[in-house]
Amino acid sequence: QLQLQESGPGLVKPSETLSLTCTVSGGSISSSSYSWTWIRQPPGKELEWIGSMHYFGNTYYNPSIKTRVTMSVDTSKNQFSLKLSSVTAADTAVYYCAREYLGNDGQLDYWGQGTLVTVSS
């Protein structure tokens, strides 16, 4: 059974960089059938797609935060990562990592449990 687990600091200061890692177990991140995705959900609000990437490096980011986002993958550790720079209180959210099936449907079939990141001084 595939499992995803987010990890990283739960508190980040304004203007600093948020860094999260998603560890994939029970399956390989190096599959051409899937991409790896970050999604966030501010408290009490809806889901927001941050970006997706393939293990070979292609990345797709939400235009609304594209200038502040960097995603990367470490196939040797079966992990992928998110960096969000110049954070503000508006970036406070539960951050989820997920697997996307690269078919016509593009469904997110496995999700991590999520990690709350609070931006505050």
Partner 1 sequence: QSVLTQPPSVSGAPGQRVTISCTGSSSNIGAGYDVNWYQQLPGTAPKLLIYGNTNRPSGVPDRFSGSKSGTSASLAITGLQAEDEADYYCQSHDSSLKVFGGGTKLTVL
118 contributes a contact to partner 1 by CB under 8 A: no
116 binds partner 1 (CB under 8 A): no
Closest CB 76 distance from partner 1, rounded Å: 26
Look up residue 46 and give its amino acid: E
Which among 12-20, 26-34, 81-89, 108-116 is the span making contact with partner 1, rule CB under 8 A?
108-116
Q: What is the per-residue binding string for partner 1 in 66-105, x denoting contact by CB under 8 A?
A: ------------------------------x---xx-xxx
Q: What are phi and psi of 119, to 5 degrees?
A: -100, 115
DSSP secondary structure code for residue 44 in this structure: T
What's the closest the beta carbon of residue 112 comes to partner 1, in angstroms?
A: 7
Going by C-alpha positions, the residue among 62, 60, 53, 1 that lies closest to residue 30 is: 53
Separation of alpha carbons 71 and 83, rounded Å:
6
